[in-house]
Structure 1
Amino acid sequence: MLGNWDDLRLFLAVAREQSLSGAGKILRLDPATLGRRMARVEKGLGAVLFVKSPTGYALTEAGVQLLERAEAAEQAMRVATAQVAEPSDRLRGQIRIGAPDGCANYLLPQVCARLIEANPELDIQIVALPRVFNLSRREADMAIGVSAPTAGRLVVQKITDYRLHLAASEAYLNSSAPIRTTADLQDHRLVGYIPDMIFDRELDYLTELGMTRVPLASNSVSVQVNMIRQGGGVGIVHDFCLHATPDVTRVLTSQVALSRAFYLIRHEDDRRNQRLSRFADELAQGIRTEVLKLEANT
C-alpha cells in the first residue's frame, strides 16, 4: 500500500510528467530523492509502477491501474477540502489559470487584480503559453482557449466573442504606400504567427486572408504587437489590445473584420468543486466585462 497522501502526490506528479526531473521541478524535490521515494513506493506495493528509460518514466499496467485510483483519491481530497473549508464570502487559496498570451497579457492582469482586491486571501497564478494546456496532467486548475475542445473529460463554457482587425503603427502608415484594399497588402510587410507554430487553426488569420509570407513572425501575440508598434509592418491585432498601443491604428476595418471566442475549460472532476466553480464564474464575467469595455473604446 501507499504509505500516505504524500506518496500518492509524488506518484501522480511522476506519472503525469513522465520524468523525475519534470516532477521534481513541480514538487521542488531533487530528482534523486524523488527516485528513492518512488522505489520505496514500488517496494511497499510489491509492484513495478514505471518502466525507466533514458527518455523518461512510462507507466506499467500496474502503474496505469494505480493512476486511475490515485486520481480518484486526489479528486475526493479536492472536493472534501473545498467542502470543509471555513465558510466565507471571499475566495481563498491558490488557483492557476492557463491562457494564450494575448488574453494573459491584455485581459487577465486587470481582471485578476480586481479579483485579488475583492479576495485578499486568494492567490492567482497566470501561466501564459502559446499552446493548449493539459488539464488532465494538472498543469492548471482551468484554462482559457480560443476553440472548444471536443475530446477528453472536460467542461467547456463559452466566455465571450472578441474582434480582431488589421493594424499598423502611425509611423509605418505615414512612410509606406497607402492601404486602400486587401490587394495593397501585397506591397507591405506582414507581421503574424510563425506558420508551423500555430497551435490552433483559429489563429491562422493570415492564411484566411490569402497571405502566405510573413517577414516578421512570432509565436507570441505580445511580441507581434510590439513588432507592429515599432513599425515592423501590418498585422492582425485584437481590438482589446489597442488600449495599450495608442500609436497603432486599425486599417481596412470595413474589409477585414475577424471574430473569435474565448472558452473556459475545466476538468470534469472539478465540476463539484464549489470554490473553483465560483472563481470560474467570476473570472468569466470579469473577462466579458473587460472585452466589452475595451472594444467599446476602439
Structure 2
Amino acid sequence: MTDWDDLRIFLAVARAESLSAAGKVLKLNPATVGRRVARLEEAMATRLFARSPQGYALTEEGQRLLVHAIRAEQAVAAASEEVRGAPGQLSGQIRIGAPDGVANFLLPQVTARICDENPWLEVQIIALPRVFNLSKREADMAIAVSRPAAGRLTAQRLTDYRLHLAAARSYLDRHPPIRTLADLKGHRMIGYIPDLIFDKELDYLAETGIELVTLASNSVSVQFNWLRAGAGVAIVHDFSLPAAPDLVRVLPEALSLSRSFYLIRHADDRRVERLNRFAELLALGVRRELARLEASA
C-alpha cells in the first residue's frame, strides 16, 4: 500500500523533472529522493519515470499515477483546511503562476488582502514569462493572456486591460518630440526579445510597425525599469503607471491596445472547494485593483 509521503515525493519529482530540483522543494538530499522513488517503483512493480541525462520524465504508468497522486494531495489540503482553518476561512498553500507584469503590479496587493482575511492561507506567486503546466501542478492556477489551446483546462476571463506607449519625462526632455508613430523610428525602443515572446498577444510592437528594439528583455520588470531610468520608449500596462509617476503616455490617441487576462485551472479542480473559493476572491480582487490603478494612471 502506498502512503502519502511516497506520493508527495513522487509529485515533486514529476513536477521538477529532476532529483536535485525536487530535493530543494522537499528539503531532502537528491540521493534520498532517488531512493524513495526507487522504493515506490519497487512497491508498485513498475517504472514510473524514464531516466535520461535531461532528467526524469513520467512513463505511461507514471502519468496514470499522477492523476491519483494529485487527488490525494487535494484531499490532504482539504483536510488541513478543515482542521486548521476557522469556519469559512481558507488555509493551506496555493500557488499561482503569472506573467511578471500582472505578478508585479496586481497580484501582490490582491493576494495580500485575501491573506489578511484568511490568516491560515499561504500564497506563492511564480512570476515567469512562459506558459505554466498545470497538469504537472507547477501551479494550482495560472493567469494568462490567451486561452489555452489544449489540455484538460478551464479558462475564465478575468478582465480586459489597456496598454499605451510611455516614456519618462527625463527621456522626452532630452530627445526630439514624438508627434506621430512615424517619429518613433528616431527613438530608442524598449520591448521583448522577439524569439522569447511566448504568446502572440505580447507582440505589441508589431502593431506599431517598429521592428528595431534597441533594449530588449523577456521580463516586463526589466523593460519597466529601463523606462524609469529614461532609457527609451515602450508599450506598458496602464495599471503599472501609478508605480512610476515620472512616466507619461506617448501618443495615446494614436496607439491604444487592449488585451485580456484569463484565469486558467485544471478541469479536475472544479471539485476542490478551497480552490474554487480562492479563484472567486482572486478574480474579484484583480478586477477591483486593475480598475483602481487604471483610474489613477
TM-score normalised by the chain length of structure 1:
0.93
Q: Which AA in structure 1 matches 2:145?
A: V
Q: Share of identical aligned residues, percent?
A: 63
Aligned residues: 297
Q: Which residue of 1 aligns with 2:120?
A: 121
Contact 2:90 2:274 in 1 (8 A): yes
Contact 2:80 2:91 in 1 (8 A): no
Q: 1:76 offset after TM fit, Å? A: 5.0
Q: 1:254 offset after TM fit, Å? A: 0.5
Q: Which residue of 2 aligns with 1:95?
A: 94
- Any idea what SS the aligned residue of 2:135 has? helix
Structural mapping, 1:103-252, within 5 Å: 103-252=102-251
Report the more deviating stretch, 232-241 or 40-49.
Answer: 40-49
- Any idea what SS the aligned residue of 1:33 has? helix
Contact 1:190 1:233 in 2 (8 A): yes
Distance across 2 between alignment mates of 1:273 and 1:144:
18
Contact 1:163 1:258 in 2 (8 A): yes
Contact 2:269 2:275 in 1 (8 A): yes
Q: Which residue of 2 aligns with 1:56?
A: 55
Contact 2:84 2:120 in 1 (8 A): no
The answer for unaligned runs of 5 or more in structure 2 is none
Contact 1:82 1:274 in 2 (8 A): no
Q: 1:106 offset after TM fit, Å? A: 0.8
Report the more deviating stretch, 45-54 or 19-28.
Answer: 45-54
- Any idea what SS the aligned residue of 2:93 has? strand
Q: Which residue of 1 aligns with 2:33?
A: 34
Contact 2:99 2:143 in 1 (8 A): yes
Distance across 2 between alignment mates of 1:18 and 1:200:
24
**CA RMSD between the two structures:** 1.9
- Any idea what SS the aligned residue of 1:95 has? strand
The answer for unaligned runs of 5 or more in structure 1 is none
Q: Which residue of 1 aligns with 2:273?
A: 274
Contact 1:156 1:266 in 2 (8 A): yes
Distance across 1 between alignment mates of 2:277 and 2:60:
37
Distance change in 2, residues 1:51/1:98 (3 Å): closer
Distance change in 2, residues 1:227/1:86 (3 Å): closer
TM-score normalised by the chain length of structure 2:
0.93
